Amino acid sequence: TILVLDFGSQTSHLILRRLRNLGVYCEMLACTTKLKDLPFKPKGIILSGGPSSVYDSVAPHVDPEIFDLGLPILGICYGCQELAWRIDPTNVARGEVREYGHTELKVHNSGDSKIDRLFEGIGSEMDVYMSHFDKLKKLPTDFCIIATSANSEFAGIAHKEKPIFGVQFHPELEHTPRGSEILHNFAINICGANPAWKMENFRAKEIARIRALVGPNDQVLGGVSGGVDSSVAAAVMKEAIGDRFHAILIDNGVMRLNECEQVKETLGEHLGINLTVVNGGELFLSRLKGVTDPEKKRKIIGKTFIDLFQEEAIRIEKEAEAKPDVGPVKYLLQGTLYPDVIESVSYKGPAATIKTHHNVGGLPDTLNLRLIEPLREMFKDEVRAFGRELGIHHDVLMRHPFPGPGLAIRILGEVTPERVELSRRADHIFISEIRAAGIYDDISQAYVAISQDRAVGVQGDARVYGFIAILRAVVTSDFMSATPYEFDWKLIKKISTRILNEVDGITRVTYDMTSKPPGTIEME
Ligand code: XMP
């Protein structure tokens, strides 16, 4: 294992990604983690970048004992400055200019292979990405220069005797095209990490971890939605503890056409998960009656979800008490992914639990259940690979995200049973046509919203007054920004015609051309 100590950089998690792509197992912990608290023995340590200045009185610092282990250490950006600052605080200061973006790095060959091995195979020059204001002002004692750039005299440094290295640039970014080679040199050649990490190892390790944690009798509860994360998390729990895992699907009345049936089929029948479907449709719709404000709609749905989930948890708990052969319900399964916990491992320390609680939406506080998060070390594409390992169908794994409040935030204004029906049927046509055209995986998210306003149309010879279907399809890599998908004109015309012909009550079809920003992906 390579240990990454995180100083809170936006890109720290990419270090893990690159290392795992190399087959190297790694874990990230807060930079302030004490050596004595380490849950494993690392082969080497990487100090990440971070937004602070090392000389600031409130700046985060590593446990100085990590330097006494004799382990290889690589400092990246802030991590490099931390190495230098430890040796002498006057080694680091604010630069005259901020160095930001691509720069040409000159690699220095010292002739000593122990010193040169970080850049082994790179040659004399390399394109790198820099993002820093502070810089090394002096070469730390016992170090030598291994790379320079126009603005950084000490863009790469190495200890003359010990396996300690620092780089000012970011090898983890794609903008540093050969950055993976630097991480390969460090992790595999210098630390001697074994590049044998694979998804199968993760499966066995995670199942063993869950079994040890949950014990032979305890039970686990978890909400499922049919989305990728909750489905994969449920599948791994089923494999680990069988029917002591209870999956709960709450039908909130604003799910897509046939969605509950699909979840029953894929999770219940196909994977054999102990699944309970709670029919909350009427309750949700009655509480939403007359409500038009989007935030109020979200809050009502969130609260109703918790109410029903809690009722179910209490019921299962009572049943468990009556059964002599099973123990109490002690854990709540959560499909939290790595990007959700990034904040939690940053140097802010206590943020760990705050963020996790935030994701749970308040459930554990009221239920007194401990969290179990089998996917917390994974990125989305890894979750999909894991799901494939566990036998989950491709269509489930590649599904577009669907928001918790469901169609309710796509039915603009008041959610009425009539417009839920319009939304479901139009959405079904849109998504089916996208699938049939083979472009589902090219689009990040697609749906149909239903307007609050109505428009006149003519059907047969009669004047009709119906609602407007607004088609939305976006392309995005991170859902923070997005652009509208460029449809083939014939296809979008066909979709429009089908919706107008097949869904009574819709008299217009429009396509939403708004990017994010300034728009958002959802309409409400
Ligand atoms: P926006 O509309 O903010 O959406 O651009 C970004 C992504 O988040 C999803 N989204 C939600 N997911 N509960 C969820 O679980 C919500 O309340 C919610 N609101 C938006 C949205 O579908 C998109 O993928």
Q: How many CB atoms are located within 10 Å of the residue 191 CB? A: 23
Least Cα distance to 170 among 96, 78, 106 occurs for 78
Q: How many CB atoms are located within 10 Å of the residue 135 CB? A: 25
Regarding whether 370 and 456 lie in a shared domain, the answer is no
| Interatomic CA distance for residues 194 and 210, integer angstroms | 25
Residue 415: inside a domain? yes
Q: What is the pLDDT of residue 413?
A: 97
- List pLDDT tens digits, range 206-241: 999 999 999 899 999 999 999 999 999 999 999 999
- List pLDDT tens digits, range 385-422: 999 999 999 999 999 999 999 999 999 999 999 999 99
What CATH number does the domain containing 239 carry? Answer: 3.40.50.620
Return the residue whose CA atom lies nearest to atom 7 of ligand 1. 479
| Interatomic CA distance for residues 70 and 56, integer angstroms | 28
Regarding whether 159 and 50 lie in a shared domain, the answer is yes
Q: What is the pLDDT of residue 348?
A: 43
Is the pLDDT reported for residue 78 higher than 90? yes
Q: What is the pLDDT of residue 12?
A: 87
pLDDT band at 355 (very low <50, low <70, confident <90, very high): very low
Regarding whether 137 and 17 lie in a shared domain, the answer is yes
Identify the domain boundary among 157, 190, 223: 190
pLDDT band at 120 (very low <50, low <70, confident <90, very high): very high
| Interatomic CA distance for residues 407 and 152, integer angstroms | 53
Taking the centre of ligand 1 as the mean of its atom positions, its distance from the CA of residue 480, in whole angstroms, is 10
Pairing of strands 462-475, 483-484: antiparallel
- Domain region containing 210: 199-397
Residue 309: inside a domain? yes
- List pLDDT tens digits, range 282-297: 999 999 999 999 999 9
Q: What is the ipTM of this complex?
A: 0.98
Least Cα distance to 427 among 400, 453, 404 occurs for 400
pLDDT band at 357 (very low <50, low <70, confident <90, very high): very low
Residues making up the annotated binding site for ATP are 225-231
- Helix/strand/coil percentages in the chain, nearest 5: 40, 25, 35
Taking the centre of ligand 1 as the mean of its atom positions, its distance from the CA of residue 401, in whole angstroms, is 8
Distances (CA, A) of 318 to 241, 321, 366: 20, 5, 16
Regarding whether 309 and 456 lie in a shared domain, the answer is no
Query: Looking at the 3D structure of the chain, how many domains does it have?
Result: 3
Is the pLDDT reported for residue 486 higher than 70? yes
Return the residue whose CA atom lies nearest to atom 10 of ligand 1. 403
Q: How many CB atoms are located within 10 Å of the residue 215 CB? A: 12
Q: Find where tokens 């669907």 sit.
A: 402
Residue 517: inside a domain? no
Q: What is the pLDDT of residue 510?
A: 98
Regarding whether 295 and 146 lie in a shared domain, the answer is no
- What's the angle, vertex CA 35, arms to CA 160 and CA 26, rounded to 5? 75
| Interatomic CA distance for residues 213 and 218, integer angstroms | 9
Average pLDDT for residues 69-82, to the nearest whole number? 96
Q: What is the pLDDT of residue 511?
A: 98
Mutate to test the pocket of ligand 1, among 299, 340, 407, 479 (most ligand atoms within 8 A of CB): 479
3-state secondary structure 167-201: ECCCCCCCCCCCHHHHHHHHHHHHCCCCCCCCHHH
**Annotated catalytic residue within 26, 77, 80, 191:** 77
Is the pLDDT reported for residue 356 higher than 70? no
Buried b (16+ CB within 10 A) or exposed e, 409-421: bbbbbebeeebbe
**Annotated catalytic residue within 13, 132, 170, 246:** 170
Q: What pTM was estimated for this model as a whole?
A: 0.77
Residue 403: inside a domain? no
| Nearest atom within ligand 1 for CA of residue 520 | 5
Q: What is the pLDDT of residue 93?
A: 93
Taking the centre of ligand 1 as the mean of its atom positions, its distance from the CA of residue 522, in whole angstroms, is 6
| Nearest atom within ligand 1 for CA of residue 523 | 2
Distances (CA, A) of 477 to 228, 229, 404, 443: 16, 17, 20, 10
Regarding whether 253 and 224 lie in a shared domain, the answer is yes
Regarding whether 111 and 248 lie in a shared domain, the answer is no
* Helices and strands in the chain: count of H runs, count of E runs: 16, 18
Q: What is the pLDDT of residue 343?
A: 46
The 8 Å CB, 24+ separation contacts for 385-391 are 385/199, 386/199, 386/202, 386/203, 386/232, 386/236, 387/228, 387/231, 387/232, 387/235, 389/199, 389/200, 389/203, 390/203, 390/232, 390/235, 390/236, 390/239, 390/271, 391/235, 391/270, 391/271
Look up 174 and say whether it is catalytic: no
Residue 505: inside a domain? yes
281-288 vs 294-322: helix crossing angle, rounded to 10: 150
Rounded (10°) CA dihedral 291, 293, 294, 296:
-70
Residues in contact with ligand 1 (CB, 6 Å cut-off): 298, 401, 403-405, 445, 479, 516, 520-522
- List pLDDT tens digits, range 153-180: 999 999 999 999 999 999 999 889 999 9
5 three-class SS = strand
Q: Is 522 exposed, middle or buried (0-12, 13-18, 19+ CB in 10 A)?
A: middle
Return the residue whose CA atom lies nearest to atom 18 of ligand 1. 403
Regarding whether 326 and 380 lie in a shared domain, the answer is yes
Return the residue whose CA atom lies nearest to atom 4 of ligand 1. 521
Regarding whether 451 and 389 lie in a shared domain, the answer is no
Look up 319 and say whether it is catalytic: no
Taking the centre of ligand 1 as the mean of its atom positions, its distance from the CA of residue 247, in whole angstroms, is 23
Return the residue whose CA atom lies nearest to atom 19 of ligand 1. 403
Return the residue whose CA atom lies nearest to atom 24 of ligand 1. 401
Q: What is the pLDDT of residue 358?
A: 33
Look up 172 and say whether it is catalytic: yes
| Nearest atom within ligand 1 for CA of residue 400 | 24
| Nearest atom within ligand 1 for CA of residue 298 | 17
| Nearest atom within ligand 1 for CA of residue 402 | 22
Identify the domain boundary among 159, 190, 221: 190
Peptide bond into 518 cis (omega under 30): yes
Q: What is the pLDDT of residue 138?
A: 94
What CATH number does the domain containing 422 carry? Answer: 3.30.300.10
Residue 524: inside a domain? no
Q: What integer best gives the mean pLDDT of the chain?
A: 91
**Annotated catalytic residue within 172, 373, 382, 524:** 172
Q: What is the pLDDT of residue 366?
A: 66
Least Cα distance to 256 among 391, 59, 405, 395 occurs for 405
What does the DSSP 8-state code read for residue 269?
Answer: I
Peptide bond into 517 cis (omega under 30): yes
Is the pLDDT reported for residue 309 higher than 80? yes
Q: What is the pLDDT of residue 369?
A: 85
Return the residue whose CA atom lies nearest to atom 20 of ligand 1. 403
Identify the domain boundary among 163, 190, 217: 190
Q: Which two tokens stand for residue 353?
A: 């639990």
Taking the centre of ligand 1 as the mean of its atom positions, its distance from the CA of residue 325, in whole angstroms, is 42
What CATH number does the domain containing 129 carry? Answer: 3.40.50.880
Taking the centre of ligand 1 as the mean of its atom positions, its distance from the CA of residue 225, in whole angstroms, is 14
Regarding whether 448 and 389 lie in a shared domain, the answer is no
pLDDT band at 363 (very low <50, low <70, confident <90, very high): low
Is the pLDDT reported for residue 133 higher than 50? yes
Regarding whether 337 and 354 lie in a shared domain, the answer is yes
Average pLDDT for residues 447-470, to the nearest whole number? 94
Least Cα distance to 501 among 474, 476, 464 occurs for 464
- 130 forms beta bridges with 101
Comparing 251 with 347, the larger pLDDT belongs to 251
Taking the centre of ligand 1 as the mean of its atom positions, its distance from the CA of residue 34, in whole angstroms, is 37
Q: What is the pLDDT of residue 108?
A: 96
Mutate to test the pocket of ligand 1, among 522, 523, 524 (most ligand atoms within 8 A of CB): 522
Q: Find where tokens 């220069």 sit.
A: 145
Residue 518: inside a domain? no
Is the pLDDT reported for residue 335 higher than 60? yes
- List pLDDT tens digits, range 178-211: 999 999 999 999 999 999 988 888 899 899 999 9
Q: Are 396 and 440 in contact (CB under 8 A)?
A: no
Regarding whether 304 and 237 lie in a shared domain, the answer is yes
Residue 523: inside a domain? no
